[in-house]
Chains A and B, each alone.
Chain A
Amino acid sequence: MDWVNAVLQGVLLGGLYALFAAGLSLIFGVMRLVNIAHGDFIVLAAFLGLVVTTTLGLHSLVALLIVVPFMALLGYLLQRCVLNQTLGKDILPPLLVTFGLSVIIQNGLLEVFTANPQKLSAGALETASIPLGAGLNAGVLPVLTFAAAVVIIALLQWIFYRTALGRAFRAVSDNQDIAQLMGLNKSHIFGLAMALSMAVIAIAGIFLAVRTSFDPSVGPARLIFGFEAVIIGGLGNLWGTLIGGIILGVSQNIGAQINPGWQLLAGHIAFLVVLAVRPRGLFPRVDG
């Protein structure tokens, strides 16, 4: 029964990893940018949630209404003022600039909030669970996180393939110059893509903060989990990313079930096995 439980909790954990991964996958798809500071922005959003809930006395999930627009605006400005200048044929500038941002965010948070672990409380929601029979229980919060991941991925899919904005995203992704000729302003489109990515980051940050304790140094590990989910699922496939997150979550929980020290190692090994056997991921986008 322990094993079934480990798998079930792993699947639900996969929802959180898919949330980490969705924003990463989105901006890579639109502008081939990999944001090394992605995980640190997740932690930044978590700390913002902490500030909002403690100063305004709001419930953690209500804080999303403030943190999400704030992060989206920050993303748009960051893209327009800094990151757009780094995009080009050379992959080095965006990598190094986002790496610098990662160090700045970590140490900035450390200065302001110290290294003490923090946690967002969500009242009764934290401990509530749904009995599934046979001794199995699913926590309401993990289920909610998983549902959020499914809804967000569905929403991103809809934006990408059913709206004018999504058409603009796909156009600049295919050919920036021709998209410009067709009257799209690529700087603005990239800004919107980063804003959308940061909105997803904000949601991921709040769910992370309610689920576990966090401190300024935990960002890079979130980036790595999100990245592994993207690669396992297959580049450019958002639903694949959800499955990638689930595979990662299940591997980690099975590893932890065997030996508590193997939790993270098992996740990394699952990633490396997929990389060795299916380098394009399990469900690569066909038109690559």
Chain B
Amino acid sequence: MSAATDHIIVQSSRTSRAASIVALLLLATLLAAPWWAGRADLRLFGEIYLYVALACLWNFLAGYAGLVSVGQQAFVGFGGYCLFALAIFLGVHPMAAVPLIFILGTLISIPVAVLIFRLRGAYFAIGTWVIAEVFRLSAAQISALGGGSGTSLPVDIVRAIASSRSGREHAAYWAALAVAILVIASVYLFLRSRQGLALQAIRDNETAAQAMGIDIWRTKFFVYIVTAGLTSAVGALIFLQKLRISPDAAFSVNDWTAFVIFIVVIGGIGTIEGPIIGTIVFFLLRETLADLGSVYLLILGFVAIVVMLRAPSGLWGFVKSRTGIELFPTTRRVEPRRN
């Protein structure tokens, strides 16, 4: 008995505690960005936050729950369309609509999950794509929202967010930052919880996890629907920034899934840090190579393949294997008790 009490299980480390202080300072700086950054920068930052959120969510799904989806654009588009529908038809304030859309996204993903969970592995992936197509084709049938050509958010609704343009831009910026932090924090806290331990056990060995009494279906189902809800909320904010929606833009597989997959693979799948680093790399590449048009996508696809073949744990995996650093500690270590 004494041998057991001599040891404790720890998750944090000195590095991670130092990192959390740096993170708080960085957060304060970013929160104050409307006072020190220009309009274009603010817009770019907002876009980066939303991509960080999408990448974290996709990574949560694929890297932790083993549910590889190529159809997350279904929920991005669903969130966007719900925002427009709630604001235009029911007069809901766009900012108040975002939490509602989280609930709606979670609800719609329940029947979706029940259906596509019948498919395994790679077939699951294509199944998610079919769902996204069904959503896109259905959205194109809603003539009140412009059918196939889409619609813009009416001016009086845009004015309701804030009367001045800079006010609206600041609101959109803070909302994007808030949702990114919310997503990272939820994923992080979930992984540190009891259910998170179960999820990581499933990832490492499904049979062994099942033998320990973990309900695999229920755990994955929970991850899927929460991810869908949060992805819908992010989608709502994306189209709140754009102020215009169309089925092709809302359910774009390139914008909301291909880019996100490349971000996660390059940054490091199955880590919390990976998607954040991947997003930064992605935007650095984009800002320098965007003029190349489709060649840029070609390069991105090529880099992702090389990373997958040569360094499957990505940039952060490389750093982690060399140094053992975890900025967001989720692994558990046994250490001797110090008094």
Contact = CB atoms under 8 A, between A and B. Distances in A.
Given A86-B309, A261-B141, A34 B123 contact: yes
Nearest to B141: A261
Given A95-B122, A97-B305, A272 B298 contact: no
A261 B137 CA distance: 8
B119 A275 contact: yes
A285 B281 CA distance: 46
A286 to B, nearest CB: 19
Contacts of A107: 294-295, 297-298, 301
Given A223-B126, A268-B133, A36 B140 contact: no
Interface in B264-304: 265, 269, 294-295, 297-298, 300-302, 304
Contacts of B122: 28, 33-34, 36, 91, 94-95
Contact of B309 (A36, A97, A220): A97
B298 A103 contact: yes
Chain B at the A interface: SS class: helix
Contact of B137 (A33, A91, A103, A264): A264
Interface string A274-285: 011001000000
Contact of A82 (B115, B118, B309): B309
Contacts of B302: 100, 104
A117 interface: no
A231 B119 contact: yes
Given A103-B254, A103-B301, 14 more contacts: A92-B312, A95-B125, A96-B308, A101-B301, A103-B298, A104-B302, A106-B297, A110-B294, A111-B294, A268-B134, A272-B134, A275-B115, A276-B115, A279-B118
Interface in A177-231: 220-221, 223-224, 227-228, 231
Given A107-B301, A111-B295, A99 B261 contact: yes
Interface string A250-288: 000000000001001100110110011001000000000
A163 interface: no
A272 B137 CA distance: 14
Chain A at the B interface: SS class: helix
Interface in B177-226: none
A103 B297 contact: yes
B298 A231 contact: no
Contacts of A32: 121
Given A93-B312, A261-B140, A265-B138, A227 B118 contact: no
A97 B300 CA distance: 12
A231 B120 CA distance: 12
Contacts of A97: 305, 308-309
A230 to B, nearest CB: 8
Contact of B123 (A82, A102, A231, A269): A231
Given A86-B309, A97-B308, A99-B70, A36 B125 contact: yes
Contacts of A54: none
Contacts of B265: 96
A108 interface: yes
A197 B29 CA distance: 55
A113 B261 CA distance: 26
B85 interface: no
A172 B291 CA distance: 47
A268 B130 contact: yes
A191 to B, nearest CB: 17
Across the A-B interface, give the 3 residue pairs with the lowest CB-CB distance, nearest first: A34-B122, A103-B301, A279-B118
A273 B73 CA distance: 22
A69 B109 CA distance: 44
Contacts of A110: 294
B62 to A, nearest CB: 7
Contacts of B263: none
B148 to A, nearest CB: 8
B44 to A, nearest CB: 23
B137 A100 contact: no
A224 B127 CA distance: 8
A108 B298 CA distance: 7
A107 B292 CA distance: 11
A137 interface: no
B28 to A, nearest CB: 36
A48 B84 CA distance: 43
B101 to A, nearest CB: 23
Contacts of A261: 137, 140-141
B52 interface: no
B134 A269 contact: yes
A58 to B, nearest CB: 29
A261 B140 CA distance: 9
B140 to A, nearest CB: 7
Interface string B64-87: 001010100000000000000000
Contacts of A223: 126
Given A108-B298, A110-B294, A224-B133, A100 B304 contact: yes
Contacts of B269: 92
B309 A227 contact: no
A151 B137 CA distance: 34
Contact of B304 (A28, A94, A96, A264): A96
6 contacts: A91-B121, A92-B68, A92-B269, A103-B254, A103-B297, A111-B294
Contacts of B113: none
